[in-house]
């Protein structure tokens, strides 16, 4: 049995199975060949070699190539001649390769086509002119023309420690002389390489003892090893000879197709031939330089007695480097260390001036590429131990201080370059390259015209610039100044160095006096649902938030019970009757004393002219319209003095619907309560910093809860905006809080990588959870059955948490940042990701499906009880999508720019109960679509970018704009009526 017999056997059983993978380690996908393909290419090479080679008995063929997808086919093609395979490393010094080829008496060399020039240059005068090329296989065959004179001249020209190159006479490199090389045995029991043993391959050792030895390995030696491995190991160690797959990487990776030796080798059949041996006694043991333990006739490898290391996927004895360096005239003394198992360092005591480049150039003549040192360090004397030996530990200390000194010097110049490049990237991404003014050190990216997507681009550009990942960078980019971004990068690049910059300006958040309560990991017993320690005057209300999150409390019929929650945690129930009541007609003017606009833009519904009923009839008597135009008109706008990225919260009293309020914050640090009907500002509260999160209403209806950039969660009285309580986190709070309708607990995330459960009535934190996936930017989501809180992080982690204890139930890592907030129904939870996908998970944590778009998904999904089987969301690819709960696309509508906001589903109040969808794109367009078909029903344009999400109540659509205003748009119908009012 031979090696190629084993491959043929495996191929006959597994012809269609993948036999070999090749990974170029260039971030591209690996390529593969099946067994059938490997055999086909091998047979082509075998036929070529049998035609052009005249082996005259035993045949040995060299192969001069780098690892690649064809390597197994080439090896197999040589073995099938039959011939022995001799690998020749293109990176080895030419004289070492020449010595190996001559010592092996190679007559034929196969050279990879793209390495022919390198091979000819390295072995000038040693080749015959007879060469043939196999283009389909990628090899060229050379026949060697050995000249004793050339051998002597080449060998004498190089000063090397290898004794093989110190030629005394031609007999050392001449033809093989069997009579000189036989090893006789007393019993006559021997293995004859020329008669009884068919060679599989020929290798050479690393030269540990001074002269590299040639090792001839018969099939009878290696085949039992493989069969032994197959018996002892059910998993066949990746050997392609057993019907499995072998993986090959290029020189930049790990060369997996490299024989290691030392494993279960022994027994009478397993004998190799060294150098010029032809006959070897059975049972011969070799001196290998290995420390082993013999136990029960088996040999166990313990280690090496020399300084052999594995570098760049190849074995190398570092003493070879020291010997080669000591022979150089510029070197007085030297030593070599393998620093931290990563770097090969050559320490040199020079003779006079030493030119580093010249030293390295000389070493390349004598050593393989994997033997060239990473660094050369000049020292005055070699440190010695008390026994007079070189002190390796002291050398490592010297290099450590050398490295620190060099890093400190390079850091000064590198830090300056980083600062310049950082400013350039900042201006480039914000299109400010024409601006000659400098960037203030306290400039914040988002406030300088950036947005979340540009921040992601900035993040990726920085990591490309520094050549590595920078943990926590995205969170810093979104909330800190350019100077703090710069400092954060420096700390990542130089973690073990002293700070070269003053950190006095780094933001140090101080916790407020009332935030020092003990954090309770478990809320042992929740307050009774019928009791809350708050001021009297509980309000029956309904609250609407982005993405159709409805929250309703009725304190009259059933005290303190959630009534008719349209969508809380996926629980779909009947809407309260007043939700469907006709809102006041817009013909009655309520816009008194506030900014008015009569701007009107309409679109005729050409696709659906027969469905002409309005969102809201202007006159009660108008019961039919033959043609319809859905229009939007600015009812009021409120100036917040800075851009409004937060989405509005609308709270409507069940007793007095006309007193509905809009609560929204802005980057001006203010929180406003605005009358939904008139646009009058009821109250305005200045907070400690910018407000980007959307507000939520407490269970009792008396408080508004909102997060702030200053790290505080504010609990404000809904009637006048006065501060009831603040809770301090360790970083900015951009996450929008959500209230549990059963317990009244408030759940909110922070950029400090924690999720908090707050009892606002007891003014305490019930529990906090560290989210290892990074900062919490998105809003939590509640499911009632099972009772979970879902939270997503910028690090790409989706968590399901027990809302009572704060314990993790399950988690899923999506790999890319999550700006989208999760939204759930009774079956599943959905979330959008920067990787362009909308993901759907079961409440048990199993991924059900994912829906792909052509851009990052910042929009949170909208799941409404009005359309139980649909999920609506937007993407950066300019489309608004509607898919069903199975992940199938139902329709998509192309907007005029990216869609960051979350769509909102609402229903017309006419007899046809038409379901509509409100959505916004970042260019300021407001779109009203048919939720069933995706056709446009109407549109309007706001004079600024829009990152806020729309909320609709009756005929009123409220949304924030980056031109500093909150807008309320009226939806109405104009058209030719069949009969008059």
Contacts of 460 (CB under 8 A, 6+ apart): none
Confidence band for 257, pLDDT divided at 50, 70 and 90: very low
DSSP code per residue over 84-121: EEEEE-TTS-HHHHHHHHHHTT--EEEEEGGGHHHHHH
Q: Which residue has the tokens 């060399």?
A: 109
Return the H-helix or E-strand segment holding 541: strand 541-545
Pair 314, 255: CB distance under 8 Å:
yes
Return the H-helix or E-strand segment holding 228: helix 219-232
Pair 708, 689: CB distance under 8 Å:
yes
Report the distance separating Cα 95 and Cα 148, nearest Å. Answer: 14
- Flag whether pLDDT at 731 surpasses 80: yes
Give residue 224's pLDDT: 80
- Quote the mean pLDDT of the chain: 76
- When mean pLDDT is compared across 491-500, 516-525, 835-844, the lowest value belongs to 516-525
966 or 446, which is more confident: 966
Q: What is the pLDDT of residues 121-133, one digit of tens each?
A: 877 766 655 677 7
Pairing outcome for strands 343-350 and 375-378: parallel
Sign of CA dihedral 637, 638, 640, 641: positive
What SS3 class is residue 826? coil
Report the distance separating Cα 895 and Cα 340, nearest Å. Answer: 56
- When mean pLDDT is compared across 78-87, 115-124, 459-468, 643-652, the lowest value belongs to 459-468
Report the distance separating Cα 871 and Cα 863, nearest Å. Answer: 5
437 or 40, which is more confident: 40
Return the H-helix or E-strand segment holding 913: none
Report the first-to-last Cα separation within the chain, whole angstroms.
101
Report the distance separating Cα 36 and Cα 304, nearest Å. Answer: 41
- When mean pLDDT is compared across 259-263, 546-550, 577-581, the lowest value belongs to 577-581
Pair 981, 585: CB distance under 8 Å:
no
Contacts of 677 (CB under 8 A, 6+ apart): 584, 590, 658, 660
Pair 16, 39: CB distance under 8 Å:
no
Give residue 573's pLDDT: 32
Counts of helices then strands in the chain (DSSP H, E) = 14, 56
Report the distance separating Cα 474 and Cα 483, nearest Å. Answer: 14
Report the distance separating Cα 544 and Cα 125, nearest Å. Answer: 87
Average pLDDT over residues 341-363: 87
- When mean pLDDT is compared across 23-32, 478-487, 664-673, the lowest value belongs to 23-32
Give residue 465's pLDDT: 74
Four-CA torsion 776, 779, 784, 787, nearest 10 degrees:
10
Give the bridge partners for 880, in sequence order.
Answer: 874, 893
Confidence band for 418, pLDDT divided at 50, 70 and 90: confident
Average pLDDT over residues 951-971: 94
Give residue 832's pLDDT: 96
Report the distance separating Cα 946 and Cα 427, nearest Å. Answer: 22
Q: Which residue has the tokens 């260019």?
A: 923
List the strands of the sheet with 600-604, edge to edge: 600-604, 629-639, 965-974, 956-960, 951-953
Give residue 565's pLDDT: 34
Give residue 196's pLDDT: 53
Distances (CA, A) of 391 to 304, 306, 405, 542, 654: 20, 16, 21, 78, 85
Pair 49, 83: CB distance under 8 Å:
yes
Q: Which residue has the tokens 């005929």?
A: 955
CA-nearest of 805, 802, 814 to 856 is: 814
Give the bridge partners for 571, in sequence order.
Answer: 568
Q: Provide the 10 A C-beta neighbour count for residue 466.
A: 17
Report the distance separating Cα 420 and Cα 404, nearest Å. Answer: 24
Report the distance separating Cα 969 and Cα 337, nearest Å. Answer: 74
Structure tokens that stand for 662 in this block: 């809009």
Phi/psi of residue 970, each to 5°? -90, 140
Provide the 8-state DSSP code for 177.
-
Report the distance separating Cα 269 and Cα 283, nearest Å. Answer: 8
Distances (CA, A) of 64 to 76, 115, 138, 794: 15, 8, 12, 50
Q: What percent of the chain has pLDDT over 90?
A: 35
Average pLDDT over residues 465-491: 83
- Flag whether pLDDT at 807 surpasses 50: yes
Structure tokens that stand for 15 in this block: 């012809």
Provide the 8-state DSSP code for 30.
P
Distances (CA, A) of 57 to 53, 82, 175: 11, 10, 15
Pair 325, 364: CB distance under 8 Å:
no
Confidence band for 603, pLDDT divided at 50, 70 and 90: very low
Contacts of 881 (CB under 8 A, 6+ apart): 838, 851, 853, 872, 873, 874, 875, 889, 891, 892
Give residue 387's pLDDT: 81
Residue positions counted in the chain = 981
Pair 162, 211: CB distance under 8 Å:
yes
Confidence band for 198, pLDDT divided at 50, 70 and 90: confident
Average pLDDT over residues 851-880: 91
Pair 737, 750: CB distance under 8 Å:
no
Average pLDDT over residues 601-614: 33
CA-nearest of 152, 123, 164, 126 to 275 is: 164
What SS3 class is residue 792? strand
Q: Which residue has the tokens 């050409």?
A: 606
Structure tokens that stand for 823 in this block: 């939204």
Phi/psi of residue 922, each to 5°? -65, -20
- Flag whether pLDDT at 846 surpasses 60: yes
Structure tokens that stand for 248 in this block: 């090959």
Confidence band for 978, pLDDT divided at 50, 70 and 90: very low
- When mean pLDDT is compared across 252-261, 489-498, 859-868, 944-953, the lowest value belongs to 252-261
Average pLDDT over residues 905-934: 87
Q: Provide the 10 A C-beta neighbour count for residue 45.
A: 25
- Flag whether pLDDT at 616 surpasses 50: no
Report the distance separating Cα 591 and Cα 583, nearest Å. Answer: 15
Report the distance separating Cα 747 and Cα 745, nearest Å. Answer: 7
Report the distance separating Cα 224 and Cα 1, nearest Å. Answer: 9
Most confident of 453-457, 576-580, 740-744, 894-898: 894-898
pTM: 0.52
Average pLDDT over residues 672-678: 95
- Flag whether pLDDT at 148 surpasses 80: no
Four-CA torsion 573, 576, 580, 585, nearest 10 degrees:
-150
- When mean pLDDT is compared across 320-329, 519-528, 782-791, the lowest value belongs to 519-528
Pair 485, 474: CB distance under 8 Å:
no
Give residue 393's pLDDT: 83
Q: Which residue has the tokens 């990628």?
A: 138
Structure tokens that stand for 740 in this block: 């549990």
Distances (CA, A) of 215 to 87, 270, 367, 933: 12, 13, 20, 76
Distances (CA, A) of 393 to 318, 344, 383, 385: 16, 14, 9, 10
Report the distance separating Cα 543 and Cα 584, nearest Å. Answer: 19
328 or 528, which is more confident: 328
Maximal CA-CA distance, the chain: 127
Structure tokens that stand for 844 in this block: 């048990």
Confidence band for 319, pLDDT divided at 50, 70 and 90: confident
Give residue 320's pLDDT: 85
Q: Computed over its alpha carbons, how large is the radius of gyration of the chain?
A: 39
Give residue 516's pLDDT: 33
Give residue 55's pLDDT: 59
Report the distance separating Cα 695 and Cα 738, nearest Å. Answer: 9
Provide the 8-state DSSP code for 5.
H
Return the H-helix or E-strand segment holding 755: strand 754-759
Confidence band for 422, pLDDT divided at 50, 70 and 90: confident
- Flag whether pLDDT at 713 surpasses 90: yes
282 or 574, which is more confident: 282
- Flag whether pLDDT at 153 surpasses 60: no
Phi/psi of residue 956, each to 5°? -110, 125
- Flag whether pLDDT at 826 surpasses 90: no
């Amino acid at each position: 049995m031979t090696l190629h017999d084993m491959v043929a056997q495996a191929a006959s059983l597994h012809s269609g199975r993948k036999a070999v993978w090749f990974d170029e380690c260039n971030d591209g996908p690996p390529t593969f060949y099946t067994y059938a393909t490997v055999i086909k290419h091998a047979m082509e090479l075998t036929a070529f070699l049998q035609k052009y080679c005249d082996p005259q008995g035993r045949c040995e063929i060299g192969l001069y190539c780098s690892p690649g997808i064809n390597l197994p086919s080439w090896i197999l093609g040589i073995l099938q001649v039959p011939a022995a395979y001799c690998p020749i490393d293109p990176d080895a010094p030419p004289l070492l390769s020449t010595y190996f080829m001559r010592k092996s008496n190679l007559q034929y060399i196969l050279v990879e086509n793209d390495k022919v020039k390198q091979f000819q240059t390295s072995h000038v005068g040693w080749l015959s002119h007879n060469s043939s090329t196999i283009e389909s296989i990628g090899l060229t065959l050379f026949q060697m023309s050995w000249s004793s004179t050339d051998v002597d001249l080449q060998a004498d020209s190089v000063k090397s420690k290898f004794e093989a190159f110190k030629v005394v006479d031609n007999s050392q490199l001449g033809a093989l002389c069997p009579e000189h090389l036989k090893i006789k045995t007393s019993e006559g029991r021997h293995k004859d390489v020329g008669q009884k043993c068919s060679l599989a391959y020929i290798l050479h050792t690393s030269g540990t003892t001074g002269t590299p030895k040639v090792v001839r390995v018969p099939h009878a030696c290696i085949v039992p090893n493989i069969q032994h491995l197959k018996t002892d190991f059910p998993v066949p160690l990746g050997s392609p000879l057993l019907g499995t797959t072998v993986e090959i990487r290029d020189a930049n990776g790990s060369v997996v197709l490299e024989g290691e030796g030392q494993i279960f080798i022994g027994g009478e059949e397993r004998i190799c031939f060294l150098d010029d041996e032809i006959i070897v006694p059975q049972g011969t043991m070799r001196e290998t330089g290995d420390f082993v333990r013999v136990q029960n006739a088996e040999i166990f490898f313990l280690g090496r007695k020399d300084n052999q290391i594995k570098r760049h996927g190849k074995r190398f004895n570092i003493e070879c480097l020291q010997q080669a360096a000591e022979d150089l005239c510029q070197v007085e003394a030297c030593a070599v260390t393998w620093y931290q198992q990563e770097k090969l360092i050559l320490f040199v005591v020079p003779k006079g001036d030493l030119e580093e480049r010249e030293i390295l150039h000389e070493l390349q003549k004598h050593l393989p590429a994997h033997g060239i040192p990473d660094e050369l360090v000049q020292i005055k004397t070699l440190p010695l131990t008390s026994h007079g030996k070189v002190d390796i530990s002291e050398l490592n200390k010297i290099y450590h201080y050398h490295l620190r000194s060099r890093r400190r010097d390079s850091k000064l110049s590198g830090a300056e370059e980083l600062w310049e490049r950082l400013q350039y990237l900042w201006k480039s991404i914000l299109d400010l390259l024409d601006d000659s003014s400098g960037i203030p050190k306290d400039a914040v990216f988002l406030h300088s015209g950036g947005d979340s997507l540009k921040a992601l681009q900035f993040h990726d550009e920085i990591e490309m610039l520094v050549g590595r990942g920078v943990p926590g960078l995205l969170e810093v980019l979104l909330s800190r100044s350019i100077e703090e971004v710069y400092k954060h990068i420096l700390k990542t690049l130089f973690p073990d160095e002293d700070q070269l910059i003053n950190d006095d300006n780094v933001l140090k958040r101080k916790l407020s006096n009332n935030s020092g309560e003990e954090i309770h990991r478990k809320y042992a017993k929740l307050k009774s649902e019928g009791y809350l320690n708050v001021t009297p005057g509980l309000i029956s209300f309904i609250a609407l938030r982005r993405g159709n999150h409805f929250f309703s409390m009725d304190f009259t019929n059933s005290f303190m019970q959630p009534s008719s929650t349209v969508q809380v945690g996926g629980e779909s129930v009947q809407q309260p009757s007043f939700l469907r009541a006709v809102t006041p007609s817009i013909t009655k003017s309520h816009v008194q004393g506030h900014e008015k606009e009569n701007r009107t833009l309409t679109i005729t519904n050409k696709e659906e002219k027969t469905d002409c009923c309005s969102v809201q009839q202007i006159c009660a008597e108008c019961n039919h319209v033959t043609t319809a135009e859905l229009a939007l008109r600015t009812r009021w706008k409120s100036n917040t003095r800075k851009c409004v990225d937060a989405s509005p919260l609308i709270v409507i009293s069940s007793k007095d619907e006309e007193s509905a309020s809009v609560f929204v914050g802005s980057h001006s640090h203010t929180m406003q309560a605005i009358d939904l009907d008139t646009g009058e500002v009821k109250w305005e509260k200045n907070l400690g910093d910018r407000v980007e999160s959307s507000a939520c209403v407490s269970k009792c209806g008396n408080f508004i809860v909102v997060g702030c950039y200053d790290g505080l969660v504010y609990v404000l009285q809904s009637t006048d905006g006065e501060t009831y309580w603040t809770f301090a986190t360790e970083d900015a709070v951009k996450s929008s809080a959500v209230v549990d309708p059963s317990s009244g607990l408030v759940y909110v995330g922070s950029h400090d990588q924690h999720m908090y459960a707050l009892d606002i009535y007891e003014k305490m934190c019930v529990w906090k959870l560290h989210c290892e996936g990074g900062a919490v930017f998105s809003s939590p989501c509640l499911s009632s059955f099972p009772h979970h809180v879902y939270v997503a992080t910028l690090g790409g982690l989706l968590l399901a948490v027990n809302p009572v204890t704060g314990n993790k139930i399950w988690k899923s890592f999506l790999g890319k940042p999550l700006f989208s907030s999760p939204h759930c129904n009774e079956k599943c939870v959905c979330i959008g990701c920067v990787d362009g996908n909308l993901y759907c998970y079961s409440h048990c944590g199993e991924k059900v499906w994912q829906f792909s778009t052509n851009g990052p998904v910042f929009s949170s999904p909208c799941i409404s009880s009005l359309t139980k089987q649909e999920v609506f969301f937007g993407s950066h690819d300019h489309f608004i999508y509607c898919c069903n709960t199975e992940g199938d696309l139902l329709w998509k509508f192309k907007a005029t720019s990216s869609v960051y906001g979350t769509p909102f589903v609402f229903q017309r109040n006419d007899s046809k109960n038409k379901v509509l969808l409100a959505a916004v794109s970042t260019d300021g367009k407001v779109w009203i679509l048919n939720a069933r078909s995706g056709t446009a029903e109407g549109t309007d344009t706001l004079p600024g970018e829009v990152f806020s999400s729309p909320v609709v109540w009756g005929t009123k659509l409220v949304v924030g704009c980056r031109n500093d205003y909150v807008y309320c748009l009226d939806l109405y119908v104009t058209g030719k009526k069949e009969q008059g009012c």
